[in-house]
Amino acid sequence: MELPWPLTDGRVTVRPAEEADAPAFLAYKRRPECQAYITRTVDTLEQSRSLIADRLAEPDSVLCAVLVDGQVVGDIGGRRYRPESLGPEPDVHDFYLGYTVNPDHGGRGIASAATGLLVTALHHAGIRRVVAKAFAENVASIRVLTKNGFRLEGTERLAVLGRDGRWLDDCTLAHLAE
Ligand SMILES: CC(C)(COP(=O)(O)OP(=O)(O)OC[C@H]1O[C@@H](n2cnc3c(N)ncnc32)[C@H](O)[C@@H]1OP(=O)(O)O)[C@@H](O)C(=O)NCCC(=O)NCCS
């Protein structure tokens, strides 16, 4: 997707991921605390490279590195899709959002800033509705979203089997273009 890269607020920068980001992504994505709520996990350099290559090859996907002081500290991205319709072909896109921040840099507002930058750019690019799914117990992620104006639209109770064998409540939050 064409967005006015890089996106930055002066402290946090979001730019498209590159093959060379694979080691930096691996460094945190292999950590258990980064895998608990993520579908596609990364445990090897090869898997990290494949993730980047796959996402760059998909025209509707976005995968970005999040940088602070020139260092990759996380990733953010997602996929645009056509909204459902009862008949007429929608001429707009919606977008599924996801992100991870290296726990060594957690709690410094980095995910919140990156989300704000990307969501604003997506709406400017014509995206109508940005949707994020987060498990109810992932309080930090839900806070990132609500701080950025996302609203909780619903919670599917005990809908997804977690990695540790517990059934998790799955929340849907969304941010609509003005
Ligand atoms: C969720 C995640 C991206 C947050 O990244 P981050 O850069 O630490 O987030 P921020 O610092 O911008 O904001 C975190 C907010 O959650 C709050 N928070 C963090 N842990 C919390 C907890 N256990 N309970 C309550 N609030 C919590 C912080 O206080 C902060 O809110 P505040 O600014 O109002 O104080 C990061 O923890 C992560 O990568 N987790 C693993 C991957 C993941 O779950 N991704 C999202 C999938 S939906």
Instruction: Give residue 75's pLDDT.
Output: 98
Say whether pTM exceeds 0.95.
yes
**DSSP of 82-130, one letter per residue?**
PPP-SSSPP-S-EEEEEEEE-GGGTTSSHHHHHHHHHHHHHHHTT--EE
Q: Tens of pLDDT along 149-165?
A: 999 999 999 999 999 99
Of 144, 146, 147, 148, the one to substitute when testing ligand 1's pocket (max ligand atoms within 8 A of C-beta) is: 144
Q: Tens of pLDDT along 71-99?
A: 999 999 999 999 999 999 999 999 999 99
- In this structure, the residue with its CA closest to atom 12 of ligand 1 is 109
Cβ 110 under 6 angstroms from ligand 1? yes
Q: Which atom of ligand 1 is nearest to the CA of 38?
A: 47
Domains detected in the chain:
7-176 (3.40.630.30)
